[in-house]
Structure 1
Amino acid sequence: MTETKIKQILVAFDGSEQSKDAFQEAIRIAKFEKASLTFLTVITEIMPNDDELYLQLDVRPEIDDIYRALAEKRLETITADLDKTIPYKNEAVHGDAKRSIVEYAKENQSDLIVIGATGRGALERRLIGSTTAYVVNHAPCNVMVVK
């Protein structure tokens, strides 16, 4: 059995308690593996209805800029005290969270995705981690789910 070296860790971060726990777990792994981290937050442009169909919202550029600034500030805040010996970058992208996480991992050759079991909102909790389930089933690499 060959051991796979983890070099690039993608951390899906939405500000929920479980994503904060995933953040801490990813740091622990990065230190052990001497890996770099990417903290990814997705600015959702779509909203699910009860049928899990998606409706595209018409987001004006000003609102888009505000959402991006808030997402970037959230990442800056959580990484402010990060050990400076760990290489990392913050990324904020637009789109559907589950698909954006998988696509980002593919495009950037992530070796591991670390994600919380459930998301931040009541809807996400009700759906019991539909984003996480999608990522686990479609990711191009291993996925660690943190509870």
Structure 2
Amino acid sequence: MFENILVAYDGSIHSVKALSIAIDLCRKYGSALNVVMAVNLPQLPESGGALQDSASHRGDLDRAAAMAEQAGVRVVTHLLRGTVASTLERFALENKFDLVIVGARGRGAVKRFLMGSVSTHLVANLDCPVMVVKEKNA
């Protein structure tokens, strides 16, 4: 059913939960997993802070890959630069994923309207199924 799954990952508790669900689905369906992190890094020389930030992001992706590999799931990681929502959308469209999984912070409607939402953007703009993983209400 799902041959190629994309999970948006940023190292947050919500993205770790989304990754866990993605790994579970990949094991069930024998799917390939793509873990993608999109970041807005400033265009600085390599001696600036952007290189250090990029190394930190790469470490987060390496930990995500280790989780998938430990579960026996084929995984490829991608570190992309750009506005998070539009970069994830473009990557998902270009690579024709069967399913996109993204964590949600569970912001209220007013905050989502004022700040925007990656998950809302992806649901509205992708043609494939998008699974939004959010915390249960306490």
Instruction: Please state how far the C-alpha of 1:16 moved relative to its aligned partner.
Output: 1.3
Partner of 2:90: 103
Change over 3 Å in CA distance of 1:110–1:69 after alignment to 2: same
Inter-partner Cα distance in structure 1 for 2:116 and 2:15: 12
Aligned-residue RMSD, C-alpha:
2.1
Partner of 1:49: none
Q: How many residues align?
A: 127
Matched, 1:19 2:12: no
Matched, 1:68 2:54: yes
Q: Which has the higher helix share?
A: 2
Uncovered stretches (5+) of structure 1, i.e. residues with no partner:
46-56
Q: 2:65 touches 2:76 (CA, 8 Å); kept in 1?
A: no
TM-score of the aligned structures, taking structure 2 as reference length: 0.82
Paired-residue identity, %: 26
Uncovered stretches (5+) of structure 2, i.e. residues with no partner:
none
Instruction: Please state how far the C-alpha of 1:58 moved relative to its aligned partner.
Output: 4.8
1:146 to 130, 133, 136: 133
Instruction: Please state how far the C-alpha of 1:17 moved relative to its aligned partner.
Output: 0.9
Deviations along 1:64-123, whole A, 9 cap, x unmatched?
Answer: 32222111111112322433631111110000000111111111111110000128xx9x
Give the letter for the 1:71 counterpart. H
Structure 1 residue matching 2:11: 3-state secondary structure: coil
Partner of 1:52: none
Q: After the TM superposition, which parts of structure 1 deviate over 4 Å for at least 4 consecutive aligned residues? A: none
